[in-house]
Amino acid sequence: MQVFNFCAGPAMLPPAVMQQAQAEFINWQDQGVSVMEVSHRGKPFIALANQAEADLRELMNIPDDYHVLFMHGGGRGQFAAIAQNFLGDNGKALYLTSGQWSKSAVAEARKFADVDELDITFATEDGKGAKFPALDPSQGDYRYVHYCPNETVDGIEIFEEPNAPWPVIADMSSCILSREIDVSKYGLIYAGAQKNIGPSGLALVIVRKDMLKLPKLAMPSIADYQITADADSMFNTPPTYAMYLASLVFKWLKAEGGVKAIEQKNIRKAATLYDYIAKSDFYTNGVATENRSRMNATFQLLNSELDGEFLQQAEKAGLLALKGHRIVGGMRASLYNAMPEQGAIALVAFMDKFAKANQ
């Protein structure tokens, strides 16, 4: 049976990448050993790391005045690292909140420094939305403003590019590489890998070089951007197997036509699902039209007593991990880059069948 995995994270990886990883699992580049068994200081692995960085730079059009760092500790590791790297000498920062992840980011930053929080959500007739606000330098002396363009749990995505009088830091864990962005609009972009990049544990950081001049706090060396940059992301042993898989995902994405092409595919997948829900009197979506996430489509059954039955039958039909996050309930279909268009089509076909059988 064909299975489609809608898990929000760790998420499915492209089947072609998994097959290549399987084929070379115990014999990488004819060395007779796995890529996870070789030194990160050896020529073959350094070549892999350099190629991964070059491919990512090409995919995202990253300017030369930005470092690309491969770090440990996933997305949440960066919640702390950002405050530690930039908020020394009593520095302040502004955190915009639009859902679960941006709220978690503020809570972590507060352990280290004095930060302000601004709720950027609003309610319309069709649901909850969020907007990057107009900001004025007189609002505060901030080292940076942090926000989360795609709230993975809530299904709220902000598509407009940010504009602020301070450097913008974006948690792109669940939307990186899903659509074209202008990297030069950001002081720092980061992402846990397990949605659009590779396995969990790895974190990707894209940081403008001048940001590293900001005063920092005392912190573990592995969290320090300057130390990581100076060591080409190899201050200590990097998560080599995760980097290998990320390198294959970047190559796959280039072969798919890059970010521009995958964005068109992502638009079609999301439209397949949202257009169906909009027409339905059995399912509903509580997010404002302009903020409906392309990566994490949240939806509810109007009769929530059928939730359990829906999930059970979906799983039997090979449609996995559709249960919404425990905090918000309902359903969530994550449609990351690796999800084929047939996945969205199969989901809608199942939803329609289930609705007709239970109307």
How far is 170 from 328, CA to CA, in rounded Å?
Answer: 23
What's the closest the beta carbon of residue 41 comes to ligand PLP, in angstroms?
Answer: 26
Count of residues in contact with ligand PLP, rule CB under 6 A: 12
Q: Is 195 a catalytic residue?
A: yes
Q: Report the nearest approach of ligand PLP to the CB of residue 147 (Å).
A: 10
Q: Is 252 a catalytic residue?
A: no
Nearer to ligand PLP, 152 or 247 (CB): 152
Q: Which of 6, 9, 106, 348 binds ligand PLP (CB under 6 A)?
A: 9
Comparison of 173 and 272: residue with beta carbon closer to ligand PLP: 173
* Length, in residues, of the chain: 359
User: Does the protein bind ligand PLP through residue 101 (CB under 6 A)?
Assistant: yes
Q: Which of 74, 187, 238, 324 binds ligand PLP (CB under 6 A)?
A: 74
Q: Which long-range contacts (CB under 8 A, 24 or more apart) does 10-13 make?
A: 10/194, 10/199, 10/200, 11/194, 11/195, 11/196, 11/334, 11/336, 11/338, 12/336, 12/338, 12/339, 13/198, 13/199, 13/245, 13/249, 13/338
224 binds ligand PLP (CB under 6 A): no
Span from 68-76, 120-128, 136-144, 327-335 in contact with ligand PLP (CB under 6 A)? 68-76
Residue 155 makes contact with ligand PLP by CB under 6 A: no
- Interaction pattern, residues 180-209, with ligand PLP; x per rule: CB under 6 A: ------------x-------x---------
Tokens representing 329 are 């309930």
If one asks whether residue 148 binds ligand PLP (CB under 6 A), the answer comes out as yes
Which of 5, 85, 173, 178 touches ligand PLP (CB under 6 A)?
173
> 219: Cβ–Cβ under 8 A, 6 or more apart, which residues?
80, 81, 84, 85
C-alpha pair distances (Å), 268 with each of 111, 295, 335? 41, 12, 11
Kindly state whether residue 14 participates in binding ligand PLP, applying the rule CB under 6 A.
Answer: no
Map residue 200 onto helix, strand or coil. coil
Rounded Cα distance, 240 and 238, in Å: 5
Give min distance, CB of 175 to ligand PLP, in A.
Answer: 8
Chosen residue from 5, 85, 174, 228 binding ligand PLP by CB under 6 A: 174
98 binds ligand PLP (CB under 6 A): no
β 331-334/296-301 pair status: antiparallel
DSSP state of 323: B
Beta partners for residue 156, in sequence order: 151, 292
Query: Residue 129, interface with ligand PLP (CB under 6 A)?
Result: no
DSSP 275-301: HHHHH-SSEE--B-GGGB-SSEEEEEE
Annotated active-site residue 101? The verdict is yes
**Which residue is listed with tokens 């929530």?**
304
The one-letter amino acid code at 239 reads P
Select which of 28, 154, 166, 195 is catalytic.
195
Give me the residues that bind ligand PLP (CB under 6 A), please: 9, 74-76, 101, 148, 152, 171, 173-174, 192, 200
Active site residues: 101, 171, 195
